[in-house]
Structure 1
């Protein structure tokens, strides 16, 4: 089953305890971000302490409700321009709003998750595979129909091998 529109939004509205993502690409081409990327290239920055949008408001609400959202992004250095943008524009304010963001830096070491594609997992029962072109353009989202156990293991490995986002920035 392919997800889009209201069905996709419902995954974030209706999860009970946890929404979690694995990100593996150095770049995501999102047309809605084009203007923000240009502003980033021009040196315009946001204040993550005061930045607010619908997404950060949702993260704060979920936290108050006892629901968690997190992700691990697999990276290599030097970081791509997109990752520098994403870290400053999204990750900082999202981490401050309560998203549990971690970084798995595989620079100079073996990737513990070779060949694992991007996915979202909701309540450790529903997995949504994220399909992308090689350049990071999203093709589709697909509900995985099999056993979620391998994805739970991928999450375990990703969490064990990564560091919190803010710690990554300091180190």
Structure 2
């Protein structure tokens, strides 16, 4: 049995696209979040250098990287943190980011977990604990799962607001 590719290998082998759907209102309360919450600001380009390098290498090869976030409004403190660092972190690294208020997602068939979809061929599901800690990743190439994730992402993307236009409530 062949081992699943690593997260970095998935990006390095992507040819056309990598899309990410986030559906939680909070993730792990790591040191970066706690520092931000305490009012300390930092440079994401320095703090998350490996992410910047991976995204730049990926997008410079012509791979389109898009991230959509479904969020409850009013937004949680964690989503405020994500919003505050998105321009200097995700967008600056080459991602396109959009936000969809949860009330506008009710008629979309969504998978049960956040995911990355690579080239419309493979899904990497992200499994989280209730407190937002990452539990596991699950690599899936089943065509029905790939199709569900692709259609869900595109439906969210079509309804979502570009980062530069979104004003959190």
Name the TM-score class by shorter chain. 0.7 to 0.9
Normalised by the length of structure 2, the TM-score is 0.83
Normalised by the length of structure 1, the TM-score is 0.82
Q: How many residues align?
A: 162
**Measured at CA, do residues 110 and 7 of structure 1 come closer, stay the same or move farther in structure 2, by a change above 3 Å?**
closer
| Distance in 2 of aligned mates of 1:119 and 1:12 | 14
CA RMSD of aligned residues (A): 2.5
Choose the corresponding residue for 1:58, options 51, 54, 61: 54
The unaligned stretches of length 5 or more in structure 2 are none
2:107 equivalent to 1:112: yes
Which position in structure 2 is the counterpart of 1:127? 123
**Measured at CA, do residues 7 and 170 of structure 1 come closer, stay the same or move farther in structure 2, by a change above 3 Å?**
closer
Choose the corresponding residue for 1:150, options 148, 151, 162: 148
Q: Map 1:68-147 onto structure 2 (within 5 A).
A: 68-89=64-85, 91-93=86-88, 94-107=90-103, 109=104, 111-113=106-108, 116=111, 117-147=113-143
| Distance in 2 of aligned mates of 1:155 and 1:17 | 15
